[in-house]
Chain A
Amino acid sequence: MDSGQFFNLTTIAYFAAMVLFFAYIATKNKTVALIATLTSFAGFLIQTIALGLRWYESYQILGTDGRAPLTNLYESVVFFAWSILLIYLLMDLKYKQRTIGAFVLPIALFSMLWAQMSLHSAIDPLVPALQSNWLTYHVITCFLGYAGFAVAFGVSVMYLLKIGKEEKHQGKEPLGGIFGMFPPCKVLDDMNYKAIMIGFPLLTLGIVTGAAWAYYAWGTYWSWDPKETWSLIVWFLYAAFLHARFTRGWVGRRAAWLSVIGFAATLFCYLGVNLVLSGLHSYGSG
């Protein structure tokens, strides 16, 4: 089997996991939730194998010019999905809030579908500008950071869906229906913060490694090209989020909205800049 087939299996597993998470919310059956979690874990393992295999295949195709599978849009979108699963599963270990999967898995699934169906997936050798170890460090840190923000986004959407109902709800019995299945709003708010707390230092490190790389490749660690500038915009947004939370008590709704806006900016930084604007990162669109 080649890496492409493993990636197909990954997509199927994420699809199945997503459907199972929906089924869990509908049926409230804990066994379904467990199977959903195990399915996403299996998908993550298969994807890890696929990534390793693609890395190995690059050496078979390109000889000594093989490289980590983190070099073009296809590979980055696939890695984005992997990163989301990694952060999600780590948070699941701690919080065991199974409904979160229904709001995070779709992001990973959509990434995989997009990559598999419409992106250029051939293993091409690297242009000279990308031949650097900094590439690997830079991509890994940035995408783990983005993944943290993606999980925070999913949780924030749940928060915003639920909070209105929870506030209107009266009486001693817990909230029923679909929203009753969601974690309490307090927990969702805390998870939003925790996911951003994971993402923010990683994004910082991603920007720093990017600057270091730019310095070795072009002689300037910061040149205000659109990608750099947008990563800084994202950094500013989440820095504002954290400060507003620490010291001005911006929790709940406002924090959730900031998280949604932050993720929109993250997506623009990741995709919008390459697809809409131009700059030094133009090879990312290939």
Chain B
Amino acid sequence: MAETKKSFTETIWDFFCSLKLAIILVLLLALTSIIGTVILQNGSPADYIREYGQANYELFKKLQFIDMYHSTWFIGILALFSVNLICCSIKHFPRVWKFVKEPTLVASSAIFKGSANRAEFSCKGSKQQIAEQISTLLKKEFAKTTLTEKDDKLYLFAQKGIYSRFGAYITHLSILIIMAGAVIGNVWGYKAFVNVVEGTSVDQVRSRNNTGLIDLGFTVRCDDFDVSYYPDSNRPKDYTSDLVILENGEEIVHKQIEVNDPLTYKGIKFYQSSYGPAGNPFFKVKVTENATGEVAVVKAHQGKHVQLAGGYSFAVTNFTENDRNFGPAMQLHVNTPDGQHGAPFVVWQNHPQFDVKRGGIFSFELLGHEQTYYTGLQVAKDPGVNIVWAGCFLIMFGSLTAFFFSHKRIWISLEDDGKKTKVLIAGNAHRNQPGFSLAFDDLEQQIEATVKTESPKKEG
């Protein structure tokens, strides 16, 4: 009974550890991801019904294709993939750790016989002498050596690039870190948006997942929104908003944001995202009461009366951007205090002196025809983003280490062979064997040359 139970857990463990599962999951993720690129995501029911019909829409809803990247089954595959990554790493890591903790200092005869890269020669000189010469050479050309004496033989061991064995683990760990960062961002962060009319402020933003309004904990004011265009074209060059952050009525931060340059305050970022007109355009009109010389600048909406001194009022009734080459012009009339409609007249923006000559009770000057805009801001708080960047950095570091470096090891044994010393050399790289082969041959020739030329001199 106990035995079957053990083998069952073992089966489960092996299943989660297997690389086959990893490859199947990765291919499954690749394949299923296509669905969301072909079927519209997060659309309205009407969109789907129009495109695919009612029956298919119901099917899509059941299969969670409407928001498939956040569906239970897709998250499930991702979760299984994470478990698989963790299990794989747990299973294989001790083996790699053993390379660090217990390097094979003394090579077995199997290593010398079975290695793809090996050499054997005899030369004059004592074991100790030769060991010293080879150590000096390897330290210069390859890596520091470790000397072990066993069974009347001398063994040398040198290795390089052991860290590259960890490259794959760092890469796998970094994928988990990125996923963790994404989870943190989703749980403790939010994505929201808000429209701020020029000159007004907000302290709440609307969540993108329809969870209602979110309190910012401070106030954001938009002083100005502006679109600039490239010269002689209607291609927009920049959308900018002058934002001010206020806390307790105090202005803390001023920043002009634009696309690709957001404002960050207390971990919350404000991105320039859209814009639009707020309310109807208005006329900025300067009114001078000719008797007193008193001046007032007023806002007038087309068709709406604006009160003036002494019970008079005026209304703008028409506007054109270009009146017979005189430029922008408005048509207006003045009502008397008892409501009598005065005769309409025209005021040209570029020729303010004309209306002074008209000789009415008031003279008017058109300062501008303006439109108030709102700026559309994306608001995002993502406490996990730095973890994601750390993961991205690690994934680059890890994959480069894993691909372009390899753990290279060289073993040498020296034993007495009559009056001479027999030298056995073996080498191994855990990746890029052809490249290592060349380096090994080169190194082996250097060793041979060194011990064969230097030994006799020292003896003599």
A interface residue numbers (CB < 8 A to B): 62, 65, 124-125, 127-129, 131-132, 190, 197, 200-201, 204-205, 208, 211-212, 215-222, 224, 226, 229-230, 232-233, 236-237, 239-240, 243-244, 247-248, 265, 273, 277
Contacts and interface: CB of A to CB of B under 8 A. Distances in A.
B327 interface: no
B260 interface: yes
A232 B74 CA distance: 14
A216 B262 CA distance: 7
26 contacts: A125-B233, A128-B239, A131-B260, A197-B403, A201-B403, A208-B395, A211-B392, A217-B260, A219-B191, A219-B269, A219-B378, A221-B385, A221-B388, A222-B182, A229-B33, A229-B36, A229-B69, A233-B33, A237-B27, A237-B30, A239-B26, A240-B23, A240-B26, A240-B27, A248-B19, A248-B20
A248 B18 CA distance: 11
Nearest to A198: B403
Interface residues of B, number: 48
A201 B271 CA distance: 30
B379 interface: yes
A128 B392 contact: no
Given A197-B403, A201-B399, A204-B396, A219 B379 contact: yes
B365 interface: no
Q: From A128, A215, A237, A248, name the one whose CB has the most chain B CB atoms within 10 angstroms.
A: A128
Contacts of A236: 26-27, 29-30, 33
A235 B158 CA distance: 37
Contacts of B400: 201
Given A221-B385, A221-B388, A232 B33 contact: yes
Interface string B243-279: 0000000000000001111100000010111000000
Contact of A277 (B29, B33, B38): B38
Given A125-B233, A125-B235, A217-B271, 4 more contacts: A224-B36, A233-B34, A236-B29, A236-B30
A204 B175 CA distance: 12
A129 B396 contact: no
A220 B30 contact: no
B10 to A, nearest CB: 20
A215 B181 CA distance: 14
Contact of B23 (A131, A197, A226, A248): A248
A35 to B, nearest CB: 29
Contacts of A132: 260
A216 B23 CA distance: 33
A123 B19 CA distance: 49
B298 to A, nearest CB: 35
B347 interface: no
What are the 6 A-B residue pairs with the smallest beta carbon separation, nearest first?
A: A219-B380, A236-B30, A128-B259, A226-B37, A132-B260, A208-B392
B332 interface: no
Contact of A65 (B191, B236, B237, B258): B237
A218 B237 contact: no
B259 A217 contact: yes
B258 A128 contact: yes
Nearest to B240: A128
Contacts of A62: 230
B23 A244 contact: yes
A244 B239 CA distance: 48
Contacts of A211: 388, 392
B434 A190 contact: yes
A128 B237 contact: yes
B56 interface: no
Q: From A216, A224, A248, name the one whose CB has the most chain B CB atoms within 10 angstroms.
A: A224
B13 interface: no
Nearest to A235: B30
Contacts of B392: 208, 211-212
